[in-house]
Amino acid sequence: MIRPELLLRYKWVIAWAAFSLLITGMAIVGGFRHFSAVPNWDMWGGTVQFYFNVMDGDSSVWWAQHNEHRPVLARLLFWIDFYFFDGLGIFLIVANYLLAALAALVFWLFLRDLQQEQAATEREIATGLLITAWLFLWCQSENFTWGFQSQFFMAQLLPLAALLWLARSIDKTPLSFALACLLGVLSAGAMANGVLALPLMLCCALLLRQSAQRCAILLGLSALVLGAYFYDYHAQEGHGHLSVALQEMPADLWTYILRYLGSCFYYLYEQGNDGKLAAERSGLFLIIGSVLLGLYQLFSQKKSPAMLALLFFILYIGGTAVGTAGGRVIFGLDQAFSSRYTTPSLMAFAALLVAADPLLCRLKGKVWTAILLLLSITLCTHMFKLQVSALEVVDDQLAKRDMAGLAIALHIQDSVMIGNIYPDSAYVQDLVKKAVAGRYTIFARTPYLDLVDQFDKPWTIQNGIKCMGALDRIEAIDGDTNHIRVFGWLFNEEQDRTPRLIRFIDPSGKVAGFARTGIPRPDVAKVIDRRASYSGFGGYLRTRVADTEIIAVGDQPDCQLPLKVPTQLYHVSSQDPASTSDYSGMILAGTIMENSGWTGSDYYHSTFEKLQVLGTFIQSDVDKGSLSLRAHRGDRFYYRSGPTGGHQLMDINAGKIITPLPVSTSWTLIELSDQHLPDEFILKLIDDGSALGEWSAIALVKE
C-alpha cells in the first residue's frame, strides 16, 4: 500500500508523470485514429516499388537517391514491413513511435550525464517527463501517421545519440567512441542532413580536446562518408539553391529559417498569424539561447561534454534549417510549417532545455520559482490543447485515401480520387496488380481483395434489417463512361453502427457498385445519432443503373436500403482551355440571363484570350451566387471548383432537374449530352457553399 506521505513528497513528479502519460497516450490514440493502410504518395515508389525492385535482384536501389536523400535505414524498415508483415504499414507506424521514444530516452541519458548527483533528483525526473511529452506532440502528426517518415525521426535521433556517446567517450571505454563513430556514419543513411553529423562531431571532439588519433578518425570518416554520399549525386530539379536564395531573397531565407526552427510553436499557438509570429520569435529565441550557452561553455574553465554535445546538436538542426530553406524557400514561407518539419524543431528545443537545465537548477528563490512555474503551466496548457487534436479526425483525408483505394481495387481510372494519394493512377494500378499477385499490401486483404471480380455477379440479400441513409449526389468520372462516382450516407440504427463496406445491387440482383464509409457527416450525427459521425460513404456505380432503383447492402453490420439513382446529365473530360482552339459547341457569354454573385473568378484568377472566366471567388471561399443562361443539349462549357464539393449545383428549367456539379480542381470540359435533357433549357449554376475550398468558376466563349 502506498503511504500518503510518499504521495505528498513526490507530488510534483507524480503530476508530471500523469501529464506525460496523458500527452503520450493521446499521441498513440491519434496514431490509431488516423491510420490508413492505403499507401500514400512517396510510399508507392519508395516502399512498394522499392521492395519489388529488391525482389527482382536490383541491389542498387538501396543506395539510390530519393529526392536529395539516400534513406538506406528507412528502406531497411520498408523491407522488413513487406518481408515479415506483408506491407500493411502497421509495423512502420509502430517504428515511428518507437523512434520517438528512443529520442526521449537519449535525452534522459543526457540529463543523467549533466547531473552531479549519483541518484536522479525530482527535478531531473520532472524535466525528463516534460521532454518525453514534448517529443510526442501531435504537431508532427505527419511523421507519426505516415509510414514513410521514419527517416525524419532517425535523422535527428542518430546524430543526437552519436554526440552523446562522443561526449561519454572522454571518461568511458573506447567502445563509446566506436559507437559514436558508428552512429555518425549511420546518420548519413537517414536523410541528407545526416552528412553533417561527422563533421560536427569532429568540431566537438576538437573543443573537448580529444586525442589526435580520435580526431583523425573522425576526419577520415567525414571525408569517406561525404565522398560516398555525393558520388554520382544528382541535384533535384524544381528545387531552389542556397546560393541563389542568399543573393536574391536573403530576407525570405532568414524568415524561413526562423519559421522552420520555431515551427512547433506555430501549432502550439493554433496556427494563423499568431502562430507565425510565435514561430519566428521562438526560432530567434532558440538561436540566441544557444549562442549564450555556447559562450558560457567557451569561457568556462570546466567544459561540460554533455552540454557541448547538445549545443552541437542544435547547430546540426540549424544547419538542417539552412539547407532546407535554401531548397524550399521558393515554395513560399509557409512551407516551413509543414508538419514533418516540426520533429527537428521539437528536438532542438528539447536539447536547449536539457542543456540549460544545470543553469536553471541554480535559480533559487520564490520569484524564480513562480516564474518557472508560470512558464511551465502556460506551456503545458498549449501542449494539452494541441494534443487534443490527435483525438479528432476533423477532415475527410482518410476517407479520400479509402476511396482512392477502392478505385484502385476496382480498376477504375479515377484520376481525381487516386490523385489524392499519387498523381499517376496508371502507375499505381500496375503496382497494385503486382502487389495483389504477391499477396502484399491492403489490396490483398479485406475489404479490397477480389472486389472487382464481384462486379455484375449475382448477390443474395439475406438480411432484412433496414438502414437509414441517402444517396446525396453522383459525379461523372473523367475519361470513364462506364462508372460514376457516388456519395451519400448509411447507418444501421438498430445496432448503432456504420457498415464498413457497401454493395449496390441493381434491379436484376447483380452487383453494380461498391462504396466505403468513413466520410465525416456531422450533419447526420446531429440529427440521427452521434455514432453516425462517419456514416458518409463514397464509391462507384456502373453507369447502366442511372435513373433506376438499386439496393444498398451494408456489410459489418448488415443492413439494406433502397436508393433511387438520379440521371447523369453530363460527361466530363480534362482539358486545359489554354491548349485548345476548338470552341465548337461552347456556350457563349452572351447567353447569360442573370448573374448574382458569379462576378469573380476562380481561386487562381485564370485568364484566357478568347474565354471569359466567371466565378464565385470574389474575396474568399465564403462567397456564394447563382448564374442563369440559355443552353441546348450537346452544349459544352469549362468548369472549375475548389476541392470541397456538395453545395455546387446544376438546375435545369427552374428545379425540374437538379444535380450536383463535380469536384474539379483543374479546368474540366462539361458536356450537357444526356438524353433526358430537353433540346433547349435554362441552365442555372448555383454555388451555395461557404466552407473552405467551396468556390466555382466557368469559362464561356467571348462574343
The string of pLDDT tens digits covering residues 460-516 is: 887 678 889 999 888 888 778 889 899 999 999 888 899 999 999 999 999 999 999
Domain boundary among 506, 536, 564: 564
211, part of any domain:
yes
User: Do residues 219 and 251 both lie within one domain?
Assistant: yes
pLDDT (tens digit per residue) in 212-264: 999 999 999 999 999 999 988 887 666 667 778 788 888 889 999 999 999 99
User: Do residues 349 and 468 both lie within one domain?
Assistant: no
Q: What is the pLDDT of residue 101?
A: 96
User: Do residues 383 and 402 both lie within one domain?
Assistant: no
pTM here is 0.86
pLDDT (tens digit per residue) in 105-128: 999 999 998 886 677 778 888 889
Count the helices and strands in the chain (H runs, E runs): 24, 17
In which band, very low, low, confident or very high, does the pLDDT at 103 lie, cut at 50, 70 and 90? Answer: very high
27, part of any domain:
no
pLDDT (tens digit per residue) in 595-649: 998 999 888 888 898 899 999 988 887 888 899 999 998 899 999 988 777 788 8
Domain count for the chain, please give it.
3
User: Do residues 260 and 155 both lie within one domain?
Assistant: yes
- Residue labelled with grid coordinates 583523425: 216
Please state, in angstroms and rounded to a whole number, the distance separating the CA atoms of residues 108 and 25. Answer: 19
CATH code at 453? Answer: 2.60.40.10
13, part of any domain:
no
What number is the average pLDDT over the span 514-525?
90
Q: What is the pLDDT of residue 3?
A: 52
Extract the C-alpha cell encoding 113.
Answer: 550525464
Residue 651's domain spans which residues?
A: 571-701
DSSP 8-state symbol, 68: T
User: Do residues 267 and 282 both lie within one domain?
Assistant: yes
User: Do residues 544 and 404 both lie within one domain?
Assistant: yes
In which band, very low, low, confident or very high, does the pLDDT at 82 lie, cut at 50, 70 and 90? Answer: very high
pLDDT (tens digit per residue) in 148-173: 999 999 999 999 999 999 999 987 77
53 or 663: which leads in pLDDT = 53
Q: What is the pLDDT of residue 238?
A: 63
20-23 long-range contacts, Cβ below 8 Å, gap at least 24? 20/129, 20/130, 20/132, 20/133, 22/133, 22/384, 22/387, 23/133, 23/136, 23/137, 23/383, 23/384, 23/387
19, part of any domain:
no
Q: What is the pLDDT of residue 272?
A: 84
User: Do residues 577 and 525 both lie within one domain?
Assistant: no
| pLDDT surpassing 60 at residue 404 | yes
Extract the C-alpha cell encoding 316.
Answer: 546540426
- Residue labelled with grid coordinates 450537346: 634
What number is the average pLDDT over the span 668-675?
84
Mean pLDDT across the chain: 88
- Residue labelled with grid coordinates 547547430: 315
224, part of any domain:
yes
- CA 617 vs. chain centroid, Å, equals 27
Extract the C-alpha cell encoding 524.
Answer: 447526420
CATH code at 678? Answer: 2.60.120
24, part of any domain:
no
| pLDDT surpassing 70 at residue 440 | yes
Q: Are 471 and 657 spatial neighbours (Cβ–Cβ below 8 Å)?
A: no
31-34 long-range contacts, Cβ below 8 Å, gap at least 24? 31/93, 31/96, 31/97, 31/144, 31/145, 33/390, 33/391, 33/393, 34/141, 34/144, 34/145, 34/390, 34/393, 34/398
Q: Are 454 and 511 spatial neighbours (Cβ–Cβ below 8 Å)?
A: yes
User: Do residues 271 and 319 both lie within one domain?
Assistant: yes
pLDDT (tens digit per residue) in 273-284: 899 999 999 999
SS3 assignment, position 42: helix
Q: What is the pLDDT of residue 329?
A: 85
User: Do residues 409 and 346 both lie within one domain?
Assistant: no
Domain boundary among 533, 564, 595: 564
What number is the average pLDDT over the span 376-380?
88
| pLDDT surpassing 60 at residue 298 | yes
In which band, very low, low, confident or very high, does the pLDDT at 341 lie, cut at 50, 70 and 90? Answer: very high
Q: What is the pLDDT of residue 394?
A: 58
Q: Which of 89-98, 345-354, 574-583, 616-625 has the lowest mean pLDDT?
A: 574-583
User: Do residues 292 and 426 both lie within one domain?
Assistant: no
Q: What is the pLDDT of residue 2?
A: 46
What number is the average pLDDT over the span 420-431?
89
User: Do residues 313 and 427 both lie within one domain?
Assistant: no
Q: What is the dihedral of CA 407, 408, 410, 413, to 10 degrees?
A: 70
Q: What is the pLDDT of residue 345?
A: 96
439, part of any domain:
yes
450, part of any domain:
yes
User: Do residues 442 and 518 both lie within one domain?
Assistant: yes
Q: What is the pLDDT of residue 7?
A: 46
Q: What is the pLDDT of residue 515?
A: 94
Q: What is the pLDDT of residue 54?
A: 94
Please state, in angstroms and rounded to a whole number, the distance separating the CA atoms of residues 554 and 535. Answer: 11
H-state helical runs in 262-304? 263-268, 272-298
| Those residues with Cβ within 8 angstroms of residue 36's Cβ, 6 or more apart along the chain or in another chain | 398, 401, 402
In which band, very low, low, confident or very high, does the pLDDT at 5 lie, cut at 50, 70 and 90? Answer: very low
Extract the C-alpha cell encoding 699.
Answer: 469559362
Q: What is the pLDDT of residue 4?
A: 52
DSSP assignment of 201-237, as one string?
A: HHHHHHHTT--HHHHHHHHHHHHHHHHHHHTT--PPT
- Residue labelled with grid coordinates 496548457: 381
| pLDDT surpassing 80 at residue 654 | no
Extract the C-alpha cell encoding 409.
Answer: 481495387
12 or 527: which leads in pLDDT = 527
Q: What is the pLDDT of residue 1?
A: 43
In Å, how far are 14, 268, 287 from 105, measured between CA atoms? 19, 23, 24
Radius of gyration (C-alpha) of the chain in whole angstroms: 29
Extract the C-alpha cell encoding 354.
Answer: 536539457
Domain boundary among 516, 540, 564: 564
